[in-house]
Amino acid sequence: MNANLDANGNENFNSNPIALQIDSLVLQGFEGINSVQLGRMVEQELTRLFAEQGIPSGLKTQGHVMQLDGGSIVLPVNASAEVAGVQIAQAVYRGLEHRGLGR
């Protein structure tokens, strides 16, 4: 993921680029959702969150996170990959914020 973007999605050359690598994303109950599309939506939403809200405090203080519990999310029945991806990315971002708060 390249989060070197401003809030409008344009490249921001005044900030330091970061690399976020998610080796494994464990999801339960997503059997009917296209996993490729879901992954794209998670990446797109995380890029947006990093661009608009900055680097979460958990990454600022720790830099490297081996494991993260993003908690649980509640989705409507037959939720699309777009809806699920946005909520998953927001849960990951919140989890990174909470890591920096000592939780």
Q: What is the mean pLDDT of each run of 10 residues along the chain (103 residues)?
A: 49 62 80 87 93 84 75 85 93 82 47
Give me the pLDDT at residue 13, please. 47
Give, rounded to a whole angstrom, the gap between the first and last alpha carbons of the chain.
Answer: 25
Q: What gap in Å lies between CA 74 and CA 13, rounded to an integer?
A: 37
Q: Which domain holds residue 51?
A: 1-103
Query: In the chain, how many domains are there?
Result: 1
Q: Residue 29: left if φ>0, alpha if ψ -120 to 50, beta else—which one?
A: left
Annotate 21-39 with b (16+ C-beta within 10 A) or e (fewer). eeeeeeeeeeeebeeeebe
Give me the pLDDT at residue 33, please. 86
Give me the pLDDT at residue 2, please. 45
Give me the pLDDT at residue 15, please. 59
